[in-house]
Every structure is written in C-alpha cells, then in structure tokens.
Structure 1
Amino acid sequence: MKTVETHPSGLALTGIIGAPDSLARNITATIEDLATDLRELSHGIHGIAEVGFEERLSVAFAAEFLRYRGFPVQVGRYGLRTSLRAEAGSGSPKVAVLAEYDALPGVGHGCGHNVICAAAVGAFLGVASQIGELGGSVVLLGTPAEENGNGKELLARAGAFDDIDAVVMLHPFTGEYEVSSFASLAVRDVEVSFHGVAAHASSAPQMGRNALDAVVAAYQGIAALRQHIPATDRLHCLIVDGGSAVNVVPHLASAVVEIRSLDPDGLADLSQRVQHVLEGAALMTGTRLETTWDPFPAYLPVRSNDALAGRYHGHMSSRGRNITRETELVGGGWSTDLGNLSVRVPSIHPTVSISRENTPMHTVEFGQHAISPEGDAAIVDGAVGLALTMADYLADDRLREQAKLDFEAAGGVLDVERLLTPPSGE
C-alpha cells in the first residue's frame, strides 16, 4: 500500500501512488542482479579517463554493454561523436536518464562521472525490463563534455530533448548525507586579450602601450569587484599570457575570467559588470580590448522539480540512504550543464554519497572514492532510485501532472538563447 507523498512545499500530492509494487520489485531485482556488471562498467570507464568530446572508448564501452543485452544503441547523434542514445518502449510519455563519462585533465575521474554512467545504465535497464507493463518510453542519453563544453546544451540545440517529457540523473558526492534537490550556480567564461604597442622597455618605453599592465589592471579590478557581489556568486581570473621578453613592452596579454551566479539574471548582471571592468582596464592603459564570451555555451542553474525529487527521496530513503529534501547549494556552489535542460523540461539532479568522508570534488582522492566499495554500492542504490522515479512517472498520470505544474510554477520553459546572450560593450 503506497502512502501519500508530502510535497516539499508542504502540500500533499493527492492521489499519487506511482508504479505498482510488483513492477517496482522487479525493477529493483533487475538492477541488483546487474551489480557486478555495473561495477565493471564503472571501473572500466574510470580506468579509461577520457576528457570531454574525446570519450570515444568510454562511450564504446557503454554502448557494447547495452548491445550485449539486446538494446540498439546509436553513437554520435546530434553532431557530437561521443553522444549515445538507447531507447525502450514506444510513444509517450517519454522519460530520459542521462549518463556522463568525461574525465578531468590530469585528475582523471575526480568528479565521479564513471558512477553517473553506470547508475544511468543500470536505471535504464531496470525500467526497460518492465516497459511493456509501464507503457511509454525510457531513453538513455549519453551526454559528452559536462566538464569542459556544455554537451547538454549542444545536444538540446540539436534537438536531442525535443521528444523528452522529463529528465533524471544523479551526481556522486561525499559526506554524511545526500540531497534530492540542490541549487547550482550558473557559470560562463570570457576569454580576454589586450592589444598594446611593443617597444624597447628601457630605451623607448614611452613608445609602448603595455598590454600586461592592462591585464593586471583587469585582474585587480575583478578582485575589487568580488567585495561587492552576492555571497553566493563567484569570480575567477587566470592570466594566461603576459609577454615573452622582460626587456620588451608586451604588446599582447590575455586572461580568462569565469563568472558564477545563483540565477540567470544575476549572471547577466555580473557579466555586464565584468565587461565594464575590462573596458576600464583598456581605457586606462591605452590598449585595445578583445573579448570572446562563451567559448562554450554558458551553464544555467539547476531548477529541481519538486514532484520528481519527492519520489526519488522516498525511494532512496527506502534504500537506507541518509537523504534530505532540503534544497542546498552543495559544496559551496558548483555548476553543471543539467541546468540548461532543467529550464526546458522537468528535471532532477540529486546527489548520492560515495564516502562518509568529506572529500573535495575534482581531486584524485575523490576519484578513488568513485571506485571504492561505497562508490560501487552508490551505483546500485542510485540506479534503483532513478529507475523507480522514472517508473512512477511513466505509470502515474497524476505525478506527471504535478511535475508539469511544479515546472510551470518555477517559471516554465525559459528562453535559453536570451539568457545566454553575451554582455554588450560600451
């Protein structure tokens, strides 16, 4: 007998019962029977450790894992050669679970994307095993380059999500507890070059216009700006070129600035302020500014769907996971390209703990947790949580309606192109 779920807002989700218990048990058993194979998939991808857009062996491994079990797989769709799509069932509703498999340069799987991939594959296979009884369709989408290229935005622009009604995925984390929904930060980069005039630094400095002075002034201006932005926002700056000879006035210097904000409007406002700092640095040094905004598409904040997050929370609690529904800015504020989908379609992006020890992401130590016994257990639990959430969505039209209402109440479909417009120069 299913109990009535309590919505995070405090409202009862009246009449939502989800998938029948018998189907839920069968889905769970299918995933648990795959535990050893999913561990091998996770560890194999961890050992390959390919960076974004270059995940050719990783996606091939995942594709063969699915083909061996009888599922047709398409690799390289939507203009990205390391994308993946597999599907079971037919027609609507159609729910997708997302896999990531890219690693970090020099760090490997220090963000645990091997766990994400294995859990997504397990969830897909679990739901696919009962899709005839559930109705509708389940899709597995492999999304390249979360770390360095916003693969999900590129896939969305190519139409990969046009037929998808809801999206689920998870992310490994460390610590005592997990969250069924969290707040992430929007993020965008701007590549900056200052063009000056070269001159002999000793005999004719008056003839030069120092591009290094400009980039240093920009760096200092951004450092000063940090004092006057919301506590949740972030600014990072790296000088990547400051000249090549100490006795020559640098005619070219460059930097990269990264901007993060808790909401899209905040990102736009902070981006414009950074643009003004850069223009000021050029003006005060007599140099010419050149900017390239968004060398890859900007990431938007995740908008978690309350109805779907509530179902996931219940299923993970039943697995004995220490999970909370509170919306948290996990880890002080990180960013993911799932945010770009969450303003297009109802989505969730919960966390699953792979170690009770708090370990920063993007480190070798975090990557070691991603192939630990706790990491392997998180794959199975996470796959079950995602699969049962998808099964509930497919089986229960009231859940689908509540997810739609929650999505619309949070702002509905947003104009992503407008949100990602670069700031204007003066």
Structure 2
Amino acid sequence: MIEKVKAQIEKLQVELIELSKYILENPELGYEETKACRAHIDILKKYGFIVGEEYMGIKTAFRAEVVSDKKGPTIAYLSEYDALPGIGHGCGHNILGATSTGAGIILSKFIEKIGGKVVVIGTPAEETSGAKVEMAKNGAFNDVDIVMVAHPADKHFKSGNSLAMQAIQFDFKGKPAHAAMCPEKGINALDAAINTFNNINSLREHFQIDAKVHGIITDGGKAANIVPDFATAQFYVRAATKTYLEELVEKVKNCARGASLAAGTQLEISHYEASFENLVTNQHLLMKYCEKLKDMGVEKIFEARESYGSLDAGNVSHVCPTIHPYFSISDKPLIAHTKEFAEATNKPLAYEGMKNAIGALVLTAIDVIEDRSFLHAIHEEFIVVEK
C-alpha cells in the first residue's frame, strides 16, 4: 500500500505544487480568500469530488466529498489558505492547504475498494477569528470520525496542544466633568480600567503555570482636562484546559467588577472575538501518523513544541478525534509569520516535506478505515481524555 500511495503522490505532485505557488503569489486575508478557495474547489472537482460552496454560509469556505459504495468511517482533512497582512503566507497556509487537499484527492483513489468517505473542508480565516470555531459549533464535524491537518514548520513535530482562549471586553461607563474645576462631580471610567489591570496583576501569582492573561486599553478618554466617562479594556485569557479557563475567566471578570465598583462606574462584559478551545491531540491517531511518516522515509520526528498560543483546530478536537502535526519544509531554523517563512514554502525541501506529510495522512486514514479495532481505540480515547 505504501508504494501505491507514493505512486499516486508522484502523479499529483506537479498540480499540488502549482496550487501552492498560485496561492503563495496571490495572498488573501481571512474571509477574503476568493482566489484560493476557487483554486481548491477547481482541483477537487477535477478529481471527482462533490463540492458544496459557501459552506455553512461562509463565502470562502467549502466542503468536498467522495463517498464509497462500501460503508466505512468518514475521514476529514482541513485546508487553510488565508494570509497575513503585509507578509503574505508567512504561516505557510498555501502549502498547508495543498497538503490537505492533496491528501483528500489521493485517499479518494482508494476508498472505493476499502470503503468510507473522504471529506476536505476549506476553513478560512485561521489567523483571525477562525472559521473552524463556528463550524464546530454548528455541527460541521458531527458526522466525522477523525480530523487531520498538517502544518508546515522547520522540522517534523508531533501534534501537541494549544491553549484554550477567551477574548473578553470590559466597557466602563462613568460621568464626565471638568478635571480641574469640578473633578468631584465626575466618575472616572479610566480609573476602573486601570485598576482592572492592577487587580489582574495581583492575581497573577495564583495562576496555574501555563495560564496567560494579556490586555490593552482601547479607549480611555479624549482630553486630559475631562474626566473620562468611558473606557474599554480588552483581554485574551488563556489556559491549558477548558475547565481551568472558565475558572480563570470568572476571576478576571471579578477583577473588573471590583474595579468598577470602586470607581462607581457601570460595567458591561462581552466577547469581542470567538473563543478558542484547547487542542486535544488523539494519541492513538498521532502514533499511527508518526509510524506512517517513518514509512515515508522520515527519520527524525521531534516531540511536540510547547504551545503558548491558540488554534481554531482546538474547537474541532472537542467534537471529534483530531491531530495537528507539523511537517518540515526546511533544513534551517524558521520563524513563523515572516517573509522568510513564506519564501521557504516554495523550495524543493518544502515540496519534499509536503509529499511525506501527504503520504502519512493518507496511510493513516487507510489504517483507520481498514482496522475497526483501531478506530474503536481512537474513539474510546476521545471519550475519556480530559478536555
């Protein structure tokens, strides 16, 4: 089976390189990825996929499927294709998307014989609000057995974790007054915002070690001689698990409530961005992926990197078994979100890494489809693991 998969990759490689290059040369921001989305849809249709466009009402999302006549599990690959402002594809979503779409096309060559369904889902705006968040919430993955997405990096890394995150906004409403003539008649909303930071800073020594809270004041008044009657503070609150995040968010809200009470302001609390859940890597699925990556000729697979950020794939991992490994595109250290990273995605080593990742993604899926006891173990782990 390994040689058959490799042969299919070789047949498709030129088209996948062209797809990756085209998206690299035409970078588009989140929810504006019309060219990239169309390029993925066109190649998937060419290879027999039934494609639903503007999936779940999202203009630059799609869901493409090939279904076998034989029953079996549903395998989903996630394509990303949004770029970064001023940098382009500094996170390599051009080659990430080509890898996922390529894996879907190649797996489709085998499922008529082995059974199952292959799905490629185009997921916009990973760099900003993360379309996967709403997709997961609205049931996009409810009929999926496993999800896989491989991200470019400077080494092959195992799938690890990411931090759960909520984006909290505090709006403080006070009362204006002349700051010199009659300050006693004012209610200072900026004081409430500043003291929210002070309260949070006092709380930090009691955080779990991997928890993070960072924020800004986006509105704090317009003139120094007017008591600010309105102030806004925005925070990202992050933690390793959804459970602890909810606990920490409540403590942060209490910091704002206390500051508001002390200053005499009114307080409104809201979310200004979507909430990301922590990535939960399915270890059974990951071990199989690593095994297949070695079958593709990769000798060194590094342990998962420490993650201090958040991924919208985390929300998917709370709905169905998921892995998010990294594949090597360079033999030199790379820093993500740079033009150098974008340039590295268009090198021979990058396309070699893409080929290896596609092979591992496809071979892993074949084992999931053919070995029902393995699929059962994946699902059992998903049920019992702490999220």
The answer, yes or no, to whether TM exceeds 0.5 is: yes
Relative to structure 1, is the Cα distance of residues 86 and 133 closer, same or farther in structure 2, using a 3 angstrom cutoff? same
Amino acid aligned to 2:91: C
Deviations 1:143-196 (A, max 9, x none): 12222223223112333222211111112223xx43332121111101221111
Does the 8 Å CA contact 1:26/1:130 hold for their aligned counterparts?
no
**1:103 is aligned to 2:80:** no
Secondary structure, counterpart of 1:52 in structure 2: coil
**1:123 is aligned to 2:103:** yes
Aligned length: 385
Matches within 5 A, 1:308-387: 308-324=285-301, 326=303, 328=304, 330-387=305-362
Matches within 5 A, 1:17-166: 21=1, 24-90=2-68, 91-166=71-146
Amino acid aligned to 2:295: S
Matches of 2:352 and 2:42, distance apart in 1: 23
Deviations 1:259-293 (A, max 9, x none): 11001111011101110111122122222211113
Matches of 1:366 and 1:130, distance apart in 2: 34
Secondary structure, counterpart of 1:366 in structure 2: helix
Relative to structure 1, is the Cα distance of residues 254 and 307 closer, same or farther in structure 2, using a 3 angstrom cutoff? same
Deviation at 1:224, TM superposition (A): 3.3
Amino acid aligned to 1:284: A
Relative to structure 1, is the Cα distance of residues 48 and 191 closer, same or farther in structure 2, using a 3 angstrom cutoff? farther
For structure 1, the residue ranges without an aligned partner over 5 or more in a row are 1-20, 415-426
Name the stretch that deviates more: 188-197 or 108-117.
Answer: 108-117
**1:255 is aligned to 2:230:** no
Name the stretch that deviates more: 388-397 or 367-376.
Answer: 367-376
Amino acid aligned to 1:388: L
Matches within 5 A, 1:256-335: 256-293=234-271, 295-324=272-301, 326=303, 328=304, 330-335=305-310
Deviation at 1:355, TM superposition (A): 2.9
For structure 2, the residue ranges without an aligned partner over 5 or more in a row are none
Deviation at 1:356, TM superposition (A): 3.8
Normalised TM-score (structure 2): 0.92
Deviation at 1:322, TM superposition (A): 4.9
Matches of 2:383 and 2:276, distance apart in 1: 21
Relative to structure 1, is the Cα distance of residues 108 and 124 closer, same or farther in structure 2, using a 3 angstrom cutoff? same
Amino acid aligned to 1:376: Y
Does the 8 Å CA contact 2:142/2:320 hold for their aligned counterparts?
no
Does the 8 Å CA contact 1:78/1:159 hold for their aligned counterparts?
no
Relative to structure 1, is the Cα distance of residues 382 and 80 closer, same or farther in structure 2, using a 3 angstrom cutoff? same
Name the stretch that deviates more: 402-411 or 355-364.
Answer: 355-364
Matches of 1:359 and 1:251, distance apart in 2: 46
Does the 8 Å CA contact 2:142/2:319 hold for their aligned counterparts?
no
Identity rate of aligned residues, in percent? 35
Per the alignment, residue 397 of structure 1 pairs with 372
Amino acid aligned to 1:223: N
Secondary structure, counterpart of 1:147 in structure 2: coil
Matches of 1:359 and 1:281, distance apart in 2: 43
Matches within 5 A, 1:7-22: 21=1
Amino acid aligned to 1:334: G
Amino acid aligned to 1:156: A
Amino acid aligned to 2:290: H
Relative to structure 1, is the Cα distance of residues 47 and 207 closer, same or farther in structure 2, using a 3 angstrom cutoff? farther
Please, what is the CA RMSD of the aligned residues?
Answer: 2.0
Relative to structure 1, is the Cα distance of residues 197 and 323 closer, same or farther in structure 2, using a 3 angstrom cutoff? farther
Does the 8 Å CA contact 1:313/1:323 hold for their aligned counterparts?
no
Matches of 2:34 and 2:148, distance apart in 1: 24
Relative to structure 1, is the Cα distance of residues 38 and 224 closer, same or farther in structure 2, using a 3 angstrom cutoff? farther
Amino acid aligned to 1:360: I
Candidates 178, 184, 190, aligned match of 2:168: 190
Amino acid aligned to 1:375: A
